A and B are shown apart, each in its own frame.
Chain A
């Protein structure tokens, strides 16, 4: 289950500051916890989150083991033009998930 939940306003006025919220299902296993058999569970985290707006990177974040499961990231950007926002999460064990959202700027 690695389904993202994204919130981007469908429409905005040019120059308006819009809030963008991104939530994704991920266990974010730290690599420090012992499992039921006493052995340390291997690390399994999202390491990087990137958001592009019409192929221009507007926000990125590095994630670390101390972050909670199902990480939630919120940030703002300026609505400059209509287009597509692409959200990409990448991490351990080849984890990669992308999601897009469109915004109409008037």
Chain B
């Protein structure tokens, strides 16, 4: 029974390791940039870039090797003086809007931005109607 459990555990724990590379992480995967301002810019950008292999994490949060390589790219480019938004654009050009957590206004996403405005306007109209009606009634009685 215990042997079976140990066997099961060793198989369950070993399987995910099978698909890992043996190379050390890229130079700037876990190392911060020397310049704090640049590191801050890199960090802010990495929080809003989606990990390609884990999909619901940002690359700043993920330990996947590919996310590490992507952090390395971001930090190297920032260190070279590239603008964070240019790096985002470079990635969107390759992976589509998908890779960025910062939604852009496009023909597909504009309702996202329009909906709050429309709802607020609608609410304002309804509230105005109610108040004017109440005042009218209050005047009568």
Question: A and B: partners?
Answer: no
